[in-house]
Amino acid sequence: EIVMTQSPATLSVSPGERATLFCRASQTVSSNLAWYQQKPGQAPRLLIYGASTRATGIPARFSGSGSGTEFTLTISSLQSEDSAAYYCQQYDDWPPWTFGQGTKVEIK
Amino acid sequence: QVQLVESGGGVVQPGGSLRLSCVASGFKFSDYGMHWVRQAPGKGLEWVAFIRDDGSRKFYADSVKGRFTISRGNSKNTLYLQMNSLRTEDTAVFYCAKDRYLGGDHFDYWGQGTLVTVSS
């Protein structure tokens, strides 16, 4: 089973500043990596797939990068509505499909 | 637009059973793999089960294998999760999610979830 590890657990960023979230896989997942956003009381929403492709309707301030075992989600200019938990997921080697434990982004 | 609507959650005693449903609309249900994912209170996301477009292949997380059964009714555009021998640690919000393809890809749409509480 591929273990996904996210850091940091919590990130506090001022509005307009850049937020950088990290995700590491225990073995290579190529570019088969997705990022999801989950706001309190809501379902997860797909942000990024293929490590760097934005899903439909996702603002350009969200970008993903990386391949192999190291990945990054960047929010270039944080907005108040970006306060949420963010999860990475690998879909390279399954079952199981595995998620990171999440990073909570707070607005400072 | 794609919609996934779960139902069937509730309170059940340990050892009990529950069947969840997920009604899909806005896409050709029979062409896509489907998943169940759960989230315990205050915790992260855990994949639970997968079924291929035609129901020919099914996979389960080790934590539910032998207790949960995933199925689908393509004529009814409905995904199911039969949960038996429930444990307190199964308490969670259960989401159905659409696979981008037949299976083995990311999850492009999610339902709003249904809460399952296992408690005496």
pLDDT at position A49 is 97
Task: Please indicate whether, in this complex, the C-beta atoms of A102 and B44 are within 8 angstroms of each other.
Answer: yes
Residue pLDDT, tens place only, A10-32 = 999 999 999 999 999 999 999 99
pLDDT at position B70 is 98
How far B118 CA sits from the closest chain A CA (Å)? 20
Cβ burial B36-69 (10 Å sphere, 16+ → b, else e): bbbbeeeeebbbbbbbbbeeeeebbbeebeeebb
pLDDT at position B81 is 98
pLDDT at position B101 is 86
* Strands annotated E in chain A: 4-7, 10-13, 19-25, 33-38, 45-49, 53-54, 62-67, 70-75, 84-90, 98-99, 103-107
pLDDT average per 10 residues of sequence, chain B (120 residues)? 97 98 98 97 97 96 98 98 98 98 90 97
User: Looking at chain A from residue 41 to 80, which residues have their Cβ under 8 Å from any Cβ of chain B?
Assistant: 42-46, 49, 55
pLDDT at position B117 is 98
pLDDT at position B102 is 78
pLDDT at position B1 is 95
Q: Does A34 touch chain B (CB under 8 A)?
A: yes
Residue pLDDT, tens place only, A48-106 = 999 999 999 999 999 999 999 999 999 999 999 999 999 999 999 999 999 999 999 99
pLDDT at position B104 is 81
